[in-house]
Amino acid sequence: MENIFAQARGHNNFSWDNLGDIKEGRGDLGEEMPVLVYRLMQYTMLDVLSKEYGSEQANEHFRQAGFLAGTEFARNTLDLTVDFDTFVASLQSVLENLKIGILRMEAFDAATGNIVLTVGQDLDCSGLPVTNETVCNYDEGFIAGILESYTGKKYDVREVDCWANGDRVCRFNGVAGD
């Protein structure tokens, strides 16, 4: 069956406006929901994509979705015209206020744009069982989208430490390109 719902709603071209007026639509329930519900959607979607395309391709799709989300998130919630320190402080505040995670900058090389950061108590994996793998592919794309939106440079972001591999924060290395 052709995805008529996706075509009717314009899902082929994401727009921040497609997120709707959550306050109006969820007047009694509010804007928040348990992390369990988010993870239920995320990990069942990853399971379906992995079975259809293989784990590597499914992870890449998650990175791409995260990149789109990070780009739109940055454009719609952050001031992209401020100096770097102000930008990072604002990003930390927004991520914590939205309960996405607690961002800490570990290193930034102003000459290359390369960056190392951690996200603690993150939405995607904090509290997962240890499986000796990194699982925050969506976050890799999300962070890359935010960084590219701010700097104008392409970023390759990879998770190097994760709750799921026994760490208590997720650590990401971001390498800036052209």
pLDDT in tens, 90-124: 999 999 999 999 999 999 999 999 999 999 999 99
Sign for the CA dihedral angle at 98, 105, 153, 163 comes to negative
- Which residues have CB under 8 Å from 115's CB, separation 6+? 105, 107, 108, 109, 147, 155, 173, 174, 176
For residue 23, being part of any structural domain is answered with no
pLDDT value of residue 1 = 39
For residue 30, being part of any structural domain is answered with no
pTM comes to 0.92
For residue 74, being part of any structural domain is answered with yes
Share of the chain above pLDDT 90, in %: 90
Name the domain count of the chain.
1
Higher pLDDT, 129 or 12: 129
Query: Which residue type, as a one-letter code, is found at position 130?
Result: V
Q: How much is the average pLDDT of 31-47?
A: 95
- Which residues have CB under 8 Å from 169's CB, separation 6+? 104, 118, 119, 120, 122, 161, 163
Range(s) of the domain holding residue 128: 43-176
For residue 2, being part of any structural domain is answered with no
For residue 36, being part of any structural domain is answered with no
For residue 24, being part of any structural domain is answered with no
For residue 11, being part of any structural domain is answered with no
CATH of residue 130: 3.30.1380.20
For residue 37, being part of any structural domain is answered with no
